[in-house]
Amino acid sequence: MQKNSPIQLSKSTFCLLGHTNIGVIENNDELILIDSGLNSEDAAQIDEVLKNSFNKKIGTIINTHSNADHAGGNNYFSNKYNCKIFATKKEAAFLENPYLESALMWGAHPFDKIRTKYFECEKSTATNLANENSEIKLNNELTIEFISLPGHFIDMIGVLVTDQNTKTVFLGDSIFGAQMISKYNICYMINVTDFKNTLDKISNIKSDFYIPSHSTIVTSQEELKRLSIMNKNEIEKIQNFLLELCKSQMQNDDILAKVFETYHIRTTPSQLVLIGSTIKNHLTDLYINNKIEMICNDGRMYWKTK
């Protein structure tokens, strides 16, 4: 699926555009990857493209977070190159135990229809922990810094690369592209409050290139700020819809059915689980912000707009 050649952003910094964008940093005779593709099959294609362009071994993978579309290729690269894998402590727990993600999505021990390649990636082990504000100085002209970007997932990080005088920041899923928003409307986020704070944080980063994982390259801070506003507006739209819906009290499954009907979402087990989790996360955010109340009655959980 990753068939494009890497795009050169500065002397040693490249981006491989695909269903998940992959960062590539040339460091002497090795490459550093930012994220690794969905699974071994995907990673083999990425490997082939990189072999044709660089012919260097993969020395390090930095995972922005542990979701399968970002970390599913770790296993392939680690088996082939014995490379280092950097991740934050909490995301590393998911890499080591991919079961946790499908269990989190389902909220119980997951069954086969939930345990898809999108929810449960191939197991891998982080060899190094990445922390906010820690950096790797590769040489006098090339530095990598980690930036904490929680919200989409529990402990996601961004990667800021300073290459001579050019800065590129790989943003993971801290911001979604216009195309993705108009296609899916309801994008996954585990903590909506964190997601909004992270949007503010990335809007203040001064960089030459901004790389969201599922969008085209953003080339100015103004453009990133506009995209950030678009992401916030979409959150507000969903939350206003929920507040309108819950003017008369509604229970979880009825709210979800209305969301599927209104947004024309195909009813499949994985969509029910993914969108269901996202809607619950929005209800949590509305509850925390005192806009909605939760009522438990007759063996059901109801939500009512205040």
> Is residue 69 part of the contact set for Zn ion (CB under 5 A)?
yes
C-beta separation of 61 from 74 below 8 A: yes
Residue 69 or 163: the one with the smaller Cβ distance to Zn ion is 69
Considering only residues 134-173, where is the footprint of Zn ion by CB under 5 A?
Answer: 173
DSSP codes of every residue in 123-158: P---SEE--TT-EEEEETTEEEEEEE--SSSTT-EE
Stretch that binds Zn ion, among 64-72, 89-97, 113-121, 284-292 (CB under 5 A): 64-72
- Closest CB 304 distance from Zn ion, rounded Å: 33
Is 290 in a helix, a strand, or coil? Answer: coil
Residue 230 or 245: the one with the smaller Cβ distance to Zn ion is 230
Give, to the nearest 10 degrees, the angle between helix 221-245 and helix 252-262: 120
Q: Which residues, listed in sequence order, are joined to residue 250 by a DSSP beta bridge?
A: 303
C-beta separation of 8 from 52 below 8 A: no
Distance from C-alpha of 89 to C-alpha of 27, rounded to nearest angstrom: 25
Q: Between 180 and 219, how does the x/- string for binding to Zn ion read (CB under 5 A)?
A: ----------------------------------------
Residue type for 59, please?
A: G
Copy the structure tokens of residue 197.
Answer: 């704070």
- Closest CB 65 distance from Zn ion, rounded Å: 8
Stretch that binds Zn ion, among 67-75, 86-94, 236-244, 284-292 (CB under 5 A): 67-75
Q: How far is the first Cα of the chain from the last one, in angstroms, to the nearest whole number?
A: 47
Q: Between 73 and 102, how does the x/- string for binding to Zn ion read (CB under 5 A)?
A: ------------------------------
Residue 224 or 255: the one with the smaller Cβ distance to Zn ion is 224
- Closest CB 118 distance from Zn ion, rounded Å: 10
Number of residues that bind Zn ion (CB under 5 A): 2
Give, to the nearest 10 degrees, the angle between helix 192-203 and helix 221-245: 160
Q: Which residues, listed in sequence order, are joined to residue 144 by a DSSP beta bridge?
A: 136, 161
C-beta separation of 120 from 98 below 8 A: yes
Distance from C-alpha of 68 to C-alpha of 84, rounded to nearest angstrom: 18
- Closest CB 297 distance from Zn ion, rounded Å: 38
Residue 59 or 177: the one with the smaller Cβ distance to Zn ion is 177
Distance from C-alpha of 13 to C-alpha of 281, rounded to nearest angstrom: 36
Stretch that binds Zn ion, among 22-30, 31-39, 43-51, 65-73 (CB under 5 A): 65-73
Copy the structure tokens of residue 183.
Answer: 């296609």
- Closest CB 187 distance from Zn ion, rounded Å: 9
- Closest CB 171 distance from Zn ion, rounded Å: 11
Residue 69 or 234: the one with the smaller Cβ distance to Zn ion is 69
- Closest CB 35 distance from Zn ion, rounded Å: 8
Place of tokens 């996360």: 281
Considering only residues 282-301, where is the footprint of Zn ion by CB under 5 A?
Answer: none
Residues that bind Zn ion (CB under 5 A): 69, 173
